[in-house]
Amino acid sequence: MSCRASVAASTREQIHVWLLSAYHADSHAAWANWLTATFPSIDWQMLTLPGRHFAWRIRGNPLSWLDALPERRPDLIMATSMVDLATLKGLHPQLHDVPSWLYFHENQFAYPQSQRQFRSLDPCMVQLYAALAADRLLFNSRFNRDSFLAGIEALMQRLPDHQPAGLRARLESRCDVLPVPVRSIKAGKSRDCRLIVWNHRWEYDKAPDRFAAAMMALDALGVDFRVALLGKRSESAPEALVRIRKQLGHRIIADGHLPRDEYESLLGRAGIIVSTALHEFQGLSVLEAASAGARPLVPDALCYAEQYPAEYRYRPDDPKALSEKLQHWLTGTLPPQFRPDDWLVPSLAPKWKGLINSIEKR
């Protein structure tokens, strides 16, 4: 747990904002750091909790922060959607009238669970109560917003009685879509059009087994390609990764976590970036690779449907769709490069500036 004040000295004229990040994983941290660095005129006070122990973190963050909240009352609370904002305000009555914004990197209504997980409504209820306690709800994609609202509507229909009327409409009026700005990566001087990159976590929600199956199918067809296996993985290698290493070792040009400069260099010369995700609310890793010139090949679902034209998507319900499209690209001509400008810093920074400028001194 950490509590960090902004480098800029606090003054009476500065707007004082608490930035609460209850599951400070990579993408959450990158967003928070970008925000505080880009808008130094705000007197930020950041409170974070480590991105681990999910069940405890989403339910217990008000307890973890019980004696750690700053004494100075903020002009605004900006919290990620992992923060149990309703409980936090209930435990600290002095915060009851502080304007609060909730930023959704994800929502638990649309988050797939593995067979090993106990299916509980608790994470969904935390986010629902937090949304009701917030004045403004910000989402990183339309898919994130729409699946959250649809999830609430579906939940209300399942409950036995005494559901509030018009809950979706009540929350919908507070919603805005404002993605995390992605810093573009420079394209390399040369490009290996047959280099396929996987740069996702090797976990069930990213479906690495589907990626492995597609790579095996390409290999069986005799297609010429190379593969870079990036992204975080556990100490014990996932089965999908073991399979690729065992059968396609001669095609692997990178395997593991690379230093940032090497990672960007690899993306800058890659031909294709692939996703097989079962959930994706903004897809930062694909956006980065696409900004560097790699052709994205993503499921026709989730946030991808609003980001990439149809020619860069494949049907996720067809087991052969990914390998067939890869074969077509690798044995023919790659589609034109697609630059996701609407999701990059130059397009989004002005929108964030407008949001930050709307914060009022109290």
Residue 311 is part of a domain; what is its CATH number? 3.40.50.2000
Q: Do 140 and 267 fall within a single domain? A: no
Within a domain: 301: yes
Within a domain: 220: yes
In this predicted structure, the answer to whether residue 81 has a pLDDT above a threshold of 60 is yes
Tens of pLDDT, residues 110-144 = 987 655 555 678 999 999 999 999 999 999 999 99
Lowest mean pLDDT among 8-12, 160-164, 285-289: 8-12
Within a domain: 187: no
Within a domain: 29: yes
Q: Do 284 and 159 fall within a single domain? A: no
Alpha-helical segments (H) within 122-256: 122-133, 142-158, 167-172, 208-220, 239-248
The residues facing 16 across adjacent strands are: 43
Q: Spell out the residues 6+ positions from residue 29 whose beta carbon is closer than 8 angstroms to its own.
A: 21, 48, 51
Q: Alpha-carbon dihedral of residues 84, 90, 93, 94, nearest 10 degrees?
A: 10
Query: What are the phi and psi torsion angles at 4 (to 5°)?
Result: -130, 130
Tens of pLDDT, residues 142-154 = 999 999 999 999 9
Within a domain: 186: no
| Strand duo 2-5 + 43-50: pairing | antiparallel
Q: Do 262 and 310 fall within a single domain? A: yes
Q: Do 47 and 166 fall within a single domain? A: yes
Determine if the pTM surpasses 0.85: yes
What's the whole-number mean pLDDT along residues 192-198? 98
Tens of pLDDT, residues 13-34 = 799 999 999 999 988 999 999 9
Alpha-helical segments (H) within 249-344: 260-269, 284-291, 304-307, 321-331
Tens of pLDDT, residues 264-300 = 999 999 999 999 999 999 999 999 999 999 999 999 9
For residue 205 the two structure tokens come to 């929600």
Q: The domain containing residue 24 runs over which residues?
A: 2-181+345-357
Within a domain: 362: no
Which residue carries 């507070």 as its tokens? 174
Per the structure, the count of domains in the chain is 2
Q: Spell out the residues 6+ positions from residue 240 whose beta carbon is closer than 8 angstroms to its own.
A: 202, 208, 209, 211, 212
Burial 97-122 (b: 16+ CB within 10 A, else e): ebbbbbbbbbbbbbeeeeeeeeeeee
What's the whole-number mean pLDDT along residues 32-44? 97
Q: Do 198 and 163 fall within a single domain? A: no
Q: Do 62 and 136 fall within a single domain? A: yes
What's the whole-number mean pLDDT along residues 207-226? 97
For residue 113 the two structure tokens come to 């669970």
Give the pLDDT confidence score for residue 347 in this predicted structure: 98
3-class secondary-structure state, position 330: helix
In the chain, % of residues over pLDDT 90: 89
In this predicted structure, the answer to whether residue 208 has a pLDDT above a threshold of 90 is yes
Q: Do 327 and 289 fall within a single domain? A: yes
CA neighbor of 38 nearest in space, from 1, 81, 8: 8
Task: Give me the CATH number covering residue 7.
Answer: 3.40.50.2300
Q: Do 141 and 246 fall within a single domain? A: no
In this predicted structure, the answer to whether residue 12 has a pLDDT above a threshold of 60 is no
Within a domain: 353: yes
Within a domain: 274: yes
Burial 207-232 (b: 16+ CB within 10 A, else e): bbebbbbbbebbbeeebebbbbbbbe
Query: What are the phi and psi torsion angles at 273 (to 5°)?
Result: -115, 130
Which residue carries 């480098």 as its tokens? 7
For residues 222 and 237, what is the distance between their CA atoms, to the nearest angstrom? 26
Q: Do 204 and 310 fall within a single domain? A: yes
Q: Do 158 and 59 fall within a single domain? A: yes
Q: Do 158 and 68 fall within a single domain? A: yes
Q: Do 95 and 230 fall within a single domain? A: no
